[in-house]
Structure 1
Amino acid sequence: MSLLLDCDTGIDDALALIYLCSQPHVELVAVTSTPGNVDADQVARNNLALLELCGRPDVPVAVGARAPLRVPLVTTPDTHGPQGIGYAELPQARRTLEPSDAVDLWIEAARSRPGELTALLTAPLTNFALALRAEPRLPELLKGVVIMGGAFFYQGNTTPTAEWNTHVDPHAAAEVFAAFAGQPEDRLPIVCALETTERIEMHPEHLAALAEAAGCNEPELVRPGDAGGLRSRARNGLVRHVSDMLRFYFEFHRLYDQGYVAHVHDYFAATVAAGTTRFATRTATVHVETEAPRLVGTTVADFRGLWGEAPNARIVSENEPAAAFAEFVSSVGALARRLG
C-alpha cells in the first residue's frame, strides 16, 4: 500500500502518522503539510520530528499552502496545544524540508506512478484542491482517496453543523468533491466523517495497554483525577511522547464535558487507507456550504439521488472501534518495542 499523506499535525494526525510508520506493508511516498491545527511550518516541523522518532527519516516532507483558499486561517491551540502535539516535546529533526512545493510533489508522484498511490487527507483540503487545479486528472491517476472530514447526520465539532477540517477551508472541500463528480464508484473518495470517527474514542486504558505492549517496565497511568499538565516518565521514547500528547487531548475533551477521552479521528482514516480495518460505506453526493454565514463548512449528503447529481463520495457508515484500538495497541506497541 503506497500512500501520499497530507496532514495538519495535530495530535490525532500524529497518531495516524505513527501508526502508518508501524505498518511494514505501507510505503509512505511523501508527507505534505497543510495549515489547520497549527500553521503549515509548525505542521512540517512536527512531521519531520515524528518521522525521525519512528525511524523513518527517509520519507520526504514538504509544505504547500500556508493559508486556506479564500478565508483567514484559524488554528486550534486550545485543542492540540500551541505546537499541535499537546504536552509532547519532540526533539528537533536533523533534516530539512524538501525544496519542492507539496502540490508539485504530489503531482509528480501521481504522474510517475499512475494507479498506484492512495491519497490520505487528514487536514483541510487546501493542498489537494490546489493539486486538482494544477492536474485535473488526479482522480484518474490516483488509486484511491481517503478523507477525514465532514459531518452528515451528526452534530458538528466546530459549529453546530460543521466539522473542523471542512470549516477551516470550505472552498477547498467544495472544489475537491466537485472534482470527483461522475467518477466510477470505486474511484470516489472514502469519507470518514464525525459520525464514525467520534466512535474511535480513546481512553486511558488504551494508553496503558500500549505501554504494556511496548514492554514498558512500569504501567503508564493517566487518570482522570490527575492534576493538569503532568508528564509521562516512560523510558520508551515513543510511548512517552504519545502519552504526553494524549494527556493534553484527554484534558481538552474533559474541559468541554465530553469525558476523559480522546476522539482520534485521523487514526481511523489511516486504518481505512492502510486497509487494516473493516468498514462499510454509502455512496452519496456531497455539498459543502460556502456562503451562508452560520452554515459555512456544513456538509450535506444526498444518499437518495434527490438532487439528480452524480455521486462524488463514499461515506463510511459503519466501523469497529474495539478492533481499531486492538490494532493500534498491537501495531504501535510493536514499533515502540523495536525502537526501545
Structure 2
Amino acid sequence: MTSRSVIIDTDPGLDDAVAILFALNSGHFDVIGLTTVAGNLGIDVTTRNAGRLLALLGRPDIPVISGAADPLARPSIDEAAIHGNDGLGGVALPEPLAIPHGYAPFWMADQLRTARARSVDVLALGPLTNIALLLRDHADAARRIGRLIVMGGVVTDKGNVGPRSEFNFAADPEAADAVLRADLDVTLIPLDVTRKVRAGLDYVQSLRGTIAGTAAADLISAYFQDGRESRPLHDPCVMLLALAPELFEVETRHVSVDLRDDPGALLEGPLPVKIAMGIDVAAALKLLANGLA
C-alpha cells in the first residue's frame, strides 16, 4: 500500500465526506486537490463542504477547485432528502479556510500536464461532468491520468434512480458515456458492490477517538436509515479499491450507457470496462476504520 498522488473529484455528500476523511487521514494518499461538481447538491454547497472537510483536518495546503455547476445536457437531480440541505446531514464542521479558485477542468489539465504522465490518479465520487469536460477541452491532459476509479453505475442489481440507473450516472449520462468511450484506465465500482458495505452501530462507535474518526462517525450516523445500519457507504469504496485492489473482484464487462430510455443505465454494449463485482466486506470495513483512526 503505497502513497499515490490523487485528485478527488467529488460532490460532498455524506458518503463522499467519509471517503475524503479517510483519504486525508490514512497517510496513503498524496491529495493534490479536491475538485467539486454539482451532484448530491448544487455546486456552491458541494464546494463549501469540500473546504469544510479540509478545515476540520487543518489542511489549508490542499486547494478546492470548483467545477461544473450543471450536467452536460440535462437538468440536475437534487439529493437533499438523503444528505440534508447542507449536504452533510447537519453535522457541524468549521467553515473553509480558503476561497476556492480556478475552474476544475482547467486546473486538472494544468496538474496533469505538469506531473509525470500517468502518475496522478483521479478518484471520482460524483457525476463525471468535470472529467467529460477535461476530455472534451484538454484531451492531451486527460490521456495523462493514471487510474480513474469511479463510483457509478449498476450491473445486475436494481437502480436507485431509474429501474437500472444509479445516481452518479443518471445525473449526467452524457458525461458517463464520454468517459467510458475514452481511452482511459477506468475502473467502475457499481451499486452491486457498494450496497454490500454498510456500518452498524458498534462499528460507528468504534471510529470515535480521532478528529477524522469522530467526524466520520457523526456523518455515518446521519446516514442511518433504520436505526441499526447505515445506508451503503458508496464512495469510500473508491478509496479502498485505490489502496487495496486485492479486496475487490474486478472483471471486464462490455457495456454502453443508456442515453434514452433509462438514462445512465449500463447496457450490454461494445465498450470493455473494468468493473468491480465483488468485495471482501469485513476486510474493507476494517481498512476503512484503520484509516480513520
TM normalised by structure 2 equals: 0.93
Q: Does the 8 Å CA contact 1:86/1:244 hold for their aligned counterparts?
A: no
**What is the deviation of 1:58?**
0.8
* Aligned mate of 2:275, from 307, 315, 329: 315
**How far, CA to CA, are the matches of 1:237 and 1:269 in structure 2?**
22
Matched, 1:289 2:258: yes
* Aligned mate of 1:25, from 28, 33, 48: 28
CA 320–138 in structure 1, closer or farther in 2 if over 3 Å, else same? farther
Matched, 1:325 2:285: yes
**What is the deviation of 1:52?**
1.6
Superimposed CA distance per residue, residues 54-98 of structure 1 (whole angstroms, 9 cap, x where no aligned partner): 232211111111011111111111111111111202121221112
Question: Matched residues, percent identical?
Answer: 27
**How far, CA to CA, are the matches of 1:26 and 1:188 in structure 2?**
19
**What is the deviation of 1:276?**
6.5
Superimposed CA distance per residue, residues 129-184 of structure 1 (whole angstroms, 9 cap, x where no aligned partner): 0000012234531111100000011111122211010011111111111113xxxx
Q: Does the 8 Å CA contact 2:255/2:271 hold for their aligned counterparts?
A: no
Q: Does the 8 Å CA contact 2:32/2:63 hold for their aligned counterparts?
A: yes
**How far, CA to CA, are the matches of 1:330 and 1:191 in structure 2?**
24
**How far, CA to CA, are the matches of 2:185 and 2:64 in structure 1?**
26
**How far, CA to CA, are the matches of 1:124 and 1:133 in structure 2?**
16
- Other structure's SS at 1:35 match: coil
* Structure 1 counterpart of 2:229: 260
Letter in 2 for 1:106: M
Letter in 1 for 2:222: F
Superimposed CA distance per residue, residues 247-274 of structure 1 (whole angstroms, 9 cap, x where no aligned partner): 2210xx339xxx6322111001111123
* Aligned mate of 1:101, from 100, 103, 111: 103
Q: Does the 8 Å CA contact 2:36/2:65 hold for their aligned counterparts?
A: yes
Letter in 2 for 1:10: G
Letter in 2 for 1:146: I
* Aligned mate of 1:91, from 91, 94, 102: 94
Matched residue pairs, number? 289
Matched, 1:298 2:262: no
- The Cα RMSD (Å) is 1.7
**How far, CA to CA, are the matches of 1:271 and 1:241 in structure 2?**
19
* Aligned mate of 1:156, from 154, 159, 164: 159
Q: Does the 8 Å CA contact 1:196/1:316 hold for their aligned counterparts?
A: yes
Superimposed CA distance per residue, residues 202-225 of structure 1 (whole angstroms, 9 cap, x where no aligned partner): 1111111112xx2xxxxxxxxxxx
CA 129–41 in structure 1, closer or farther in 2 if over 3 Å, else same? same
* Structure 1 counterpart of 2:190: 193
**What is the deviation of 1:6?**
0.3
**What is the deviation of 1:285?**
2.6
**What is the deviation of 1:117?**
0.4
Q: Does the 8 Å CA contact 1:161/1:298 hold for their aligned counterparts?
A: yes
TM normalised by structure 1 equals: 0.81
Q: Does the 8 Å CA contact 2:207/2:213 hold for their aligned counterparts?
A: yes
Gaps of 5+ in 1: 181-186, 215-235, 303-308, 334-340
**What is the deviation of 1:194?**
0.5
**What is the deviation of 1:319?**
1.1
CA 150–143 in structure 1, closer or farther in 2 if over 3 Å, else same? same
* Aligned mate of 2:200, from 203, 209, 212: 203
Superimposed CA distance per residue, residues 9-49 of structure 1 (whole angstroms, 9 cap, x where no aligned partner): 00010001000001223100111000011111111110111
Letter in 2 for 1:254: D
**What is the deviation of 1:301?**
4.2
Q: Which has the larger radius of gyration?
A: 1
Q: Does the 8 Å CA contact 1:20/1:274 hold for their aligned counterparts?
A: no
Matched, 1:172 2:167: no
Gaps of 5+ in 2: none
Matches within 5 A, 1:29-108: 29-98=32-101, 100-108=102-110
Matched, 1:137 2:104: no
**How far, CA to CA, are the matches of 1:320 and 1:288 in structure 2?**
28
- Other structure's SS at 1:137 match: helix
